[in-house]
Amino acid sequence: MKIKNSKDLSMEKNNEQQELDLFSLLGKIVNFLYDILRKIGGFCGYLLRVTFKYYYVFLLFMFAALAYSYYSTHGARRIYKAEFTLSLNDGDTNLYSEMITSLNNYLAYEDPDRFDDMLKIPSAAKGKVCTIYNQIIEDQDTTTLNTTTVITVVMNNPDAFPAIKDALIAYFKNNEHLKSLNSIRITSLKERERIFEKDIAAIDSLQKIEYFQKTKEAGVKMDQKLVFNTEKQMFYGDKLNLLKEKEAVAKELAAKSEIVTLINEFPSSKKPFIAMRHVILKNVLIAFSLFLFLLLLWDNRKPIISYLQKK
């Protein structure tokens, strides 16, 4: 029989004490959670009781929420959303955002007539825009930085979107500062294209000269042939690079000759952007919260008044 020494006994007591402390902690946590759940259940029961007591007020709040939801989602108050993407071919991206913000300020301060006049919107689409905003997107490829902006139009009539889209595009294109920048850009691109054509023609001439010169010299040495082939490869590489750069310039002139270019558009559907069920849910929650707040104030009015009257 093995006799335990004092050290082993001490370790066993420490382990037992730690287990007791752990069980005690778990018990306290369980009691704490139970107490919280009991209080929450009691509070929910209290709310249910007073709601039933003042059920006629509750029904009045719910009716008001449903009526307002119906009102805000029908007629001219229906909201539709559409988007289109523009390539920003020139100018500071912040300038485009500032232009959109300036236009939206007229709508934010309830001056839609000024908004319509600034964009020269046709009479059939006037007063249809609720708000507009944009998002700048920059995409760096192997050669250039492509900058686009997604413009979102929130309106109360989806049929007005084509006219609003065209008016916004024309608003950018008719800006004098952007027109000046675009004119300088186009002139620079055309000059680059002319220089590329000149350099390509010069390389073609050099290649022809080398070809006819070496054809006449039939008895050239091997090392001279090697030099000739090396020069031809250098000419070929230079010409290929120039052709690629000229093609990029020609592509930009063809695709980005305007200040902005329409890339794609996503017209609004005939369904409202905000569904009626979402509006009802939000308004019912707001109405119920307001009902409970006023109900608690009324049900506890005496202690509240007594507290406020204390000096």
Distance CA 6, CA 257 (A): 94
Q: Which amino acid is at 65?
A: A
Query: For residue 220, what pLDDT is reported?
Result: 47
Query: For residue 99, what pLDDT is reported?
Result: 92
Query: For residue 163, what pLDDT is reported?
Result: 92
List the alpha helices (DSSP H) in 54-92.
55-72
Task: Please name which of 251, 297, 206 lies closest in space to residue 89, comparing C-alpha atoms.
Answer: 251
Domain range annotation of the chain: 54-73+274-296, 78-179+260-266, 181-255
What order do you get walking across the sheet with 80-88 strand by strand? 129-140, 145-155, 80-88, 260-266
DSSP-assigned beta bridge partners for residue 303: none
Distance CA 148, CA 168 (A): 15
Phi, psi dihedrals of residue 54, rounded to the nearest 5°:
-115, 45
Long-range pairs of 293-301 with CB within 8 A, sequence gap ≥ 24:
295/50, 295/51, 295/54, 295/57, 296/50, 299/50
Sign of CA dihedral 106, 112, 114, 118: positive
Query: For residue 124, what pLDDT is reported?
Result: 85
Query: For residue 85, what pLDDT is reported?
Result: 93
List the alpha helices (DSSP H) in 54-153.
55-72, 93-108, 112-119
Burial profile 124-138: b = 16 or more Cβ within 10 angstroms, e = fewer: ebbbbbbebebeeee
**Along the 311 residues of the chain, how does pLDDT read in single tens digits?**
445 555 555 555 566 556 656 777 777 788 888 888 888 888 788 778 877 888 888 889 999 989 988 887 777 778 888 999 999 988 788 899 999 999 999 988 888 889 999 999 988 888 888 899 899 888 766 566 788 899 999 988 888 899 999 999 999 999 999 999 888 888 888 888 888 777 777 776 766 665 555 555 544 444 444 444 445 555 666 777 777 777 877 887 777 888 899 999 988 877 777 777 888 898 899 998 898 888 888 877 888 788 777 76
Residue 116 in tokens? 């319509």
Query: For residue 222, what pLDDT is reported?
Result: 42
Q: What is the DSSP letter of 2?
A: P
Distance CA 66, CA 265 (A): 35
Distance CA 187, CA 265 (A): 30
- What's the gap between Cα 125 and its chain centre? 26
Query: For residue 234, what pLDDT is reported?
Result: 52
The topology under which CATH files domain 78-179+260-266 is Alpha-Beta Plaits (3.30.70)
Q: What share of the chain is helix, strand, coil (3-state, %, to 5)?
A: 70, 15, 15
Task: Please name which of 128, 115, 116, 132 lies closest in space to residue 77, comparing C-alpha atoms.
Answer: 128
Mind spelling out the 3-state secondary structure of 222-236? Answer: HHHHHHHHHHHHHHH
